[in-house]
Amino acid sequence: MIKKNLDLIVVGFVVLAIVMYDVTLDLLGECMHLMYEGLHVAFEYVELGIEEAVELLFHLLDVGEIIEYLFESDRHGSQVVTFYILLTIAWFGFYRLWKTLPRLYAFFKQLILNTWVRRKTEFQLYWFSLTILNKVALAVTAMVVAYIASFFVM
């Protein structure tokens, strides 16, 4: 039942978000703040792990003179290497996203088109099956609901 009517549920939430825009914006802001905090903590955790691994690798390989010549201290050298490792990971992520987005766009475009055609056909079949009296009753009910709902929007 939910899978069959998921498109109507999504449309209902979108309409509710538009009607209650102030609550939606506040909730969206709080969710974005929570997401950024979580990403920052995860980034710091990964960065610290990579930095410690690079420092351990420096000590194990005993790179000595070359690294000491290029960098002022061991800490600075490991931070530079960590930066370039993180930059490489970020660029790889952006590359994969760039390759994936066109397929996702095409998938969602086709999904929305199929949903639109299915719902339009269902609505037309339902409308043509109604009698004139039921059509008038449905139209009056829709107008009354819209009129009453307009009081809650203001």
Task: Give the domain extent around 24.
Answer: 6-153
137 occurs within a structural domain: yes
Instruction: Report which of 104, 99, 84, 93 is spatially closest to residue 39, judged by C-alpha positions.
Output: 93
Per-residue pLDDT tens over the stretch 40-77: 999 889 888 888 887 777 777 776 666 656 655 556 66
Question: For 80-116, b where at least 16 C-beta lie within 10 A, e where not — what string?
Answer: ebbeebeeeeeeeeeeeeeeeeeeeeeeeeeeeeeee
- In one-letter notation, the amino acid at residue 140 is V
144 occurs within a structural domain: yes
Q: How far is CA 119 from the centre of its chain?
A: 26
Q: Decide if pLDDT at 7 tops 80.
A: yes
1 occurs within a structural domain: no
pLDDT at 75: 64
Total number of domains constituting the chain: 1
**Nearest-angstrom CA–CA distance, 36 and 44:** 12
142 occurs within a structural domain: yes
Residue listed under structure tokens 């998921």: 6
Query: Structure pTM?
Result: 0.59
58 occurs within a structural domain: yes
| N-terminal to C-terminal alpha carbon distance within the chain | 34
27 occurs within a structural domain: yes
128 occurs within a structural domain: yes
Query: Do 78 and 56 meet the contact criterion of CB atoms below 8 Å apart?
Result: no
Helices 6-19, 132-153: inter-axial angle, 10-degree rounding:
40
